[in-house]
Structure 1
Amino acid sequence: MNPLLKEAVKQAGDESSIYKIKRVAGGSINESYFVKTDRNNYFIKYHPNAPNRFFELEAKGLQLIKDTNTIDVPKVIAYSDQQERAYLVLEWVSGQEHKDTERLLGERLASMHCHKGDKHGFSSNTYVGTLSQVNGLYTSWQAYYRECRLYSQLELGIQRNQITGKRRRQLNKLIDKLDLFVPDHVTPSYLHGDLWGGNWIVGSNGAPFLIDPSFLFGDRHFELAFTELFGGFSNSFYQAYEERFPVSNYYEDCKAIYQLYYLLVHLNIFGEMYGPHVDTILNKFVG
């Protein structure tokens, strides 16, 4: 038995015996386990080299979503960000999807997006994957998206030699002209921040649960754009969202600009396989 799992269960307030541990597949960042004790079932994530406040910020994002009382998230039971002893203990969530699950996901995400923050961004830096995500609180969504999202990925891409030559010139040009493509005065919604098809699961009675947030306040269409980038969401999800909170008429015009951020993240993490898609968007807007 990994002694850290025993420590994590103890920190969760469970002194009973562990009698089942199973490695859980999924995700490339953490080691994940199903742990069963005499008292409870847990989902435990462990990272041997977690960056500063890694699981604290995930736990905080889950709590902020939970506080909206709109959509389910796993209950946070305990966490640690100690060097080489970083873990997150969550309730074990398991269930079977039914015919209304994705409709409920769309409705409940829209309801979450109806909850508003005072400013765009977040009060501290967060993470997207294990990349540090620069943050701040801005009255202007456009300024936040320019400085904290696109520009931060441009700088990282230059450091990693992923954004050079024409790609670098075009991205600089797009950032300079961002006011032509992205709205400024937008109400800041509660956002999951990393909502691809692998970051929602199904609980009891077919209820959708959000997991692994990279929380921020911002334009809700930024979140929707990412759901469309890699797929994993059904037509019933989008129809239900639209019925609850119709998208704004500018969404189609700036969707690709919003997707660009996530493509830059993937370019900077995984490499050139995402470069052609980045270049297609840059060519479209500033080519």
Structure 2
Amino acid sequence: MWNAISLQISDALGRDFNISARHSVTGGDIHQAYKIEDHHCALFVKTNHKDKLDLFETEAHGLKLLAQSPTLVVPEVITTGKSADHAFLALQYLEFSPGTKAQWFQLGEDLARLHQDHCQSQYGFDEDNFIGATVQPNKWSKNWSEFFAEQRLGWQLKLAQDKGHQIGNIALWIDRCAEALRGHQPEPSLLHGDLWRGNMSFVEGRGCLFDPACYYGDRETDLAMTELFSPLPSDFYKGYDAEWPIDKGYQQRKAIYQLYHLLNHLNLFGGSYLQQCQQQLSELFCD
């Protein structure tokens, strides 16, 4: 595997990359991750079974889009590829550091600036991608409430049902989600898509984002994800609000947007999330 990877990295770099050191590093629950080095640089490499190449290719696409931000740090994509049995993604290796209060404030401002990328007039993306290991459909839509109800909640609810989870009347939940969001038609923003604390850090004092699930949608979905499991420092939200004030209606929509990620965790990790999803569905959409 490593010989094939080093050859493909060499082609991408335009020079020989001969691995002189390799160490396993933390890379999440889905892939294996490594720091590899030659005598010139270090790279971060994720590997998985060869049939997972499309996960890496869509991640690379998202990283390249995020890298267009003039202020955020995003790891440079070196290449994607596969060996006989493995797929891989090679990225620039970055040294992370904790953020100060001022740096969290700046990251909030920088995210708001990213969300001001309104180059698309519709919601979706030019390809389906992945949220974790779950397929994330991104068919373009002119209507936000329909897009989120059908391609986000509806998709996850159907996956949960297929896995045998007792999730209730899916058609009813989709209709009520669409009704709850009806009339909310935000400008489509470029989103990170999976913005929790484990997918952000700091590099030489600047905010860094990675592991995206990009699409164009309501900026509030990124903010809702940051608050779901472990809210970020308050300075982050102050910085965001200073650059682009958060709509007052966000507090009513936040739990709907968080439900998408709870359902994805149910589909990825199993029944420990079932009761939480059932309760949230009931609280949000029952009369």
Fold-level similarity (TM above 0.5): yes
Q: Verify the 8 A CA contact 1:199 1:211 in the aligned structure 2.
A: yes
Partner of 2:238: 239
Indicate the residue corresponding to 1:108 in structure 2: 110
Structure 1 moving runs of 4+ over 6 Å? none
CA contact (8 A) 1:17 1:37 kept: yes
Q: 1:217 Cα deviation (Å)?
A: 0.2
Q: Distance in 1 between matches of 2:82 and 2:185?
A: 37
Give the deviation of 1:15 after TM superposition: 0.7
Match in the other structure for 2:162:
159
Q: Name whichever of 83-92 and 116-125 sits farther off.
A: 83-92
Residues 98 and 228 (structure 1 numbering): CA distance in 2 closer, same or farther, change over 3 Å?
closer
Structure 2 residue aligned with 1:135: 138
Partner residue of 1:3? 3
Give per-residue Cα distances to partners, 1:42-93, cap 9 Å, x unaligned.
1111112443522111111011111232422001111115773311111111
Assess, with a 3 A threshold, how the Cα gap between structure 1 residues 142 and 90 changes in structure 2: closer, same or farther: same
- Cα deviation 1:125-158 (Å, max 9, x = unaligned): 1111111111211111111111211111121111
Counterpart position of 2:226: 227
Change (3 A) 1:139 1:5: same
Q: 1:88-128, CA deviations, whole angstroms, 9 ceiling, x for partnerless residues?
A: 11111114234222122111111101111221011211111
Aligned-partner Cα distance in 2 for 1:83–1:32: 18
Supply the AA of the counterpart residue of 1:197.
R
Counting aligned pairs with the same residue, the percent is: 32
1 CA distance for matches of 2:82 and 2:139? 22
* Contact 2:125-2:140 within 8 A present in 1 as well: yes
Unmatched 5+ stretches in structure 1: none
Instruction: Summarize the Cα distance change of 1:94–1:248 in structure 2 as closer, same or farther, 3 Å threshold.
Output: same
d(CA) in 2 for partners of 1:113 and 1:144? Answer: 18
Residues 8 and 35 of structure 1: CA distance in aligned 2, closer, same or farther (over 3 Å): farther
Q: Residue type matched to 1:153 in 2? A: Q
Residues 1:19 and 1:7: Cα distance change in structure 2 (over 3 Å): same
Q: TM-score, normalised by structure 1?
A: 0.92
Aligned counterpart, 2:87 = 86
Structure 1 residues 141, 74: closer, same or farther in 2, change over 3 A? same
**Maintained 8 Å contact 1:140/1:184:** no
Structure 2: runs of 5 or more not aligned: none
Q: Secondary structure at the match of 2:35?
A: strand
Does the C-alpha gap of structure 1 residues 233 and 8 become closer, same or farther in structure 2, counting only changes over 3 Å? farther
2: CA distance between counterparts of 1:221 and 1:259? 10
User: Structure 1 residue 282 and structure 2 residue 284: aligned?
Assistant: no
- What number of residue pairs does the alignment pair up? 282
> TM-score normalised to the size of structure 2?
0.92
* Matched residue type, 2:187: T
CA contact (8 A) 2:5 2:82 kept: no
The residue number in structure 2 matching 1:42 is 43
What's the Cα RMSD here?
Answer: 1.8
Distance 1:213 1:81, change over 3 A: farther
Matches of residues 61-210 of structure 1 in structure 2 within 5 Å?
A: 61-80=62-81, 84-99=85-100, 100-116=102-118, 117-162=120-165, 164=166, 167-169=167-169, 171-182=170-181, 183-203=183-203, 205-210=204-209
Change (3 A) 1:10 1:151: same
Q: Give secondary structure in 2 for the equivalent of 1:12.
A: helix
Distance 2:137 2:252 in 1: 26
Q: Is the 8 A contact 1:12 1:89 kept in 2?
A: no
Cα 1:267–1:98 shift into 2, 3 Å: closer
